[in-house]
Chain A
């Protein structure tokens, strides 16, 4: 009898009303002692005191009870047995009563306490104490917004340390360095780098040296293979270039230029055709050119156009060239930081976005007004903004708009829309941590926007 808790009490009440009748019948029969004894060991009573006949009689004579009091002592006994047997419910009720009483006690306690009790709060109710520092305006400026965006302070500190002495350019890729070290180790036997040279390793190295430049030969083979593949795949591969390349691999095997060429060939794909264009002595310069090529993405050497198109176009533009329109205004990622020369170059003429659409500038008056407003609210006094600062701010604004627009486009594209919706901007705001649990768009709008715009905004998005 697994009763679910909600109606447990409802189920109990009919039993309570039902028991007195049974008791009265039993008291009428005057056989209470055995009745009081049965809840403890009912099964023993049944098995010990009842032969199968009596049980069957008690089971198969339900009418006897309905008719009246039994006349014979067997009938009495049967009645009693029945009273002992049938109250499976009595027995179960007693058991369940025991089980439910604890639950009932708790539940009644809960019900009694429910209107009084308060939701649990953590006992130390103190607020996050403000940091104990002499109150200067930095502190005020820091604590000015309600909720600080947590990830801002840390990178500023970091970049202050590193930004003072070093430009925030990306470190040179480690891959090339490792390659160079390996090459040095293999080709120049004499150079000893600090590493744990086990005997096996040394043996291997000596074997390599005995094998007369096995590694370089190996790479020659691979290069030949790749060139063959190129030849089969792409038509525009000239034979003489391949010849010169093979000869170069022959007469400076293991040399510097050979290594550089191999390294360069391994790293970036678009240039397997580049080394054969010139004689192998000029391999260094050729490499330099190619590294520039990958960043400046305009082939500086107008040497062989169809060749470049054939190979470089096939591999490189798919792989590591960013889309060709990106370096025009992409903020600081490609160039590795702020490009100062872009600021005076911008001037008054209209920029072109990466989609080829002319981008209007936000009027300088608007930007200046905003800047003075926020600068003043931070500093307290009247902050002046000179022309260069305003130019920098405008530059930052245009970058901001470019970045934000791209993000919004990505959001709307992800949502499967063609227009940038309010929800996209909400998502952006949430990502920038301008909106969180305690700050809504409406509170922000109320803080910053005039009433008409707030109304329009509310119209656009019902809360």
Chain B
């Protein structure tokens, strides 16, 4: 395994900081990126399932977009549930 950084920590921190207008504590970006990885896992899983179902061989951009839509719907619903 190549000794390569998994992700640029500063960038993630800056992204979150820009969107939230709050500072991020020292190691919270690890967890944020962990969450992002889980999100990506789910996204790719759903995309591959959907692409298989529609008979495509590779994951197309359209599939990803559709999955993204659903994902946001679900997220919205979840936040509505929790609130």
Contact = CB atoms under 8 A, between A and B. Distances in A.
Interface string A393-432: 1011101111111111100110000111110111011011
Contact of A460 (B30, B44, B82): B30
B68 A392 contact: yes
Nearest to B24: A420
B34 A406 contact: no
Interface residues of A, number: 87
A385 B58 contact: yes
Contacts of A459: 27
Given A141-B48, A400-B39, A460-B25, A338 B69 contact: yes
Interface residues of B, number: 65
Contact of A408 (B8, B16, B62, B79): B16
Interface stretch (A219-227, A260-268, A288-296, A375-383): A375-383
A106 interface: no
B36 A400 contact: yes
Nearest to A381: B57
A163 B71 CA distance: 13
Contact of A406 (B20, B40, B42, B46): B20
Contacts, number: 235
B61 A422 contact: no
Given A357-B21, A401-B15, A418-B23, A389 B48 contact: no
A383 to B, nearest CB: 6
Given A425-B31, A432-B78, A391 B69 contact: no
Contacts of B7: 362, 366
A76 interface: no
Contacts of A391: 61
A142 B15 CA distance: 32
B31 A441 contact: yes
A40 interface: no
B43 A331 contact: no
Given A331-B72, A396-B68, 9 more contacts: A141-B48, A354-B19, A355-B18, A357-B21, A362-B7, A371-B44, A419-B23, A428-B35, A457-B27
Interface of B: 6-8, 11-12, 14-28, 30-32, 34-49, 52-53, 58-79, 81-82
